[in-house]
Structure 1
Amino acid sequence: MAGSRFEKLGSVFRRMQGLLKSGAISQSEKPVWYDVYAAFPPKLAPVYDRPLPNQTVQQILYPEDLLRAKFYAVYGEPDIVVMLNEKKKTTCQLFVEKYIELKKSGVPDAKLFEASARELKEQGIRLRTVEELNKEKEKRLQADILSASSALGQHPSAEGTFGKRARSHEPNAMHKDKLKDNLMDDYFDDFNPSDDLKLKTKYDSER
Structure 2
Amino acid sequence: MASVGTRNHNIGSIYSRVKKLISSGVMKAENRPLWYDIYEAFPPKREPVFIHGPTPDEHGLIKQADNVKPLLYKEDWARASVNKLYGDFEAVHHLIERPKEMNLSLSFIKVFTELQKAHPSLSNEEIFEKTEDIIGVTRR
Q: Is TM > 0.5 for Structure 1 vs Structure 2?
A: no
Structure with greater Cα Rg:
1
Question: Larger relative CO (CA 8 A, sep 6+): 1 or 2?
Answer: 2
TMscore range, shorter length? 0.3 to 0.5
TM-score in terms of structure 1 length: 0.31
